Structures are given as structure tokens and as C-alpha cells.
Amino acid sequence: MATEQFAELVTNALYEVAPDLRGEALDPKEKFNVQFEFDSMDFLRFVASLHLATGLELPEKDYPRLTSLASALDYLSEKLS
């Protein structure tokens, strides 16, 4: 998969949790909880949505690697390539 496809997976998972984010500027390095005021439940819904979209098991120990667009793309690239 290409980086663009990974970015689409991540942004679609974000939009499932918070559809009002569609059209918002997304800073790749800023953490989602800071950028969008995600709380822990929003983040868990994001992880669940990402799991459904990718089929990857996303263990809790890897959650810190899913907290921003850039880190999530790195993580998906590593796991799906």
C-alpha cells in the first residue's frame, strides 16, 4: 500500500469518530487529542475503526504510535508493507 492509501485509512477512521472534522486542516505531527480535543473514548473508537478498516490487531501497547497522522502512517506502513 502507498502512503496515500494509509492516509486515507487513517482519515476515514477519524471521520467515523468525528464526522465534523471533514474539511479541517490536519497537522500530521500534532496529536489527535490536542488537535481535535479527542478524549479517551474518541481515541478508542478511532482505534476500533482503524482495526476494522485494516484487519490489524492493534494491541494497547501500540496505541502511542497511533496518536497522530504521521505516527499512524509510520505504524501502518511498518505493519502492512
- Number of helices (H), then strands (E), belonging to the chain: the values are 4, 0
pTM for the model stands at 0.90
Max CA pair span of the chain: 31
Q: Residues 7-49: pLDDT tens digits?
A: 999 999 999 999 998 888 899 999 999 998 889 999 999 999 9
Q: So where are the chain's domains?
A: 3-19+28-80
Q: What is the DSSP letter of 80?
A: H
Does residue 78 carry a pLDDT above 90? yes
Give the right CATH number for 3-19+28-80 from 1.10.1200.10, 3.40.630.10, 1.10.10.2160, 3.30.70.1140.
1.10.1200.10
Calpha distance 42→66 (Å, rounded): 13
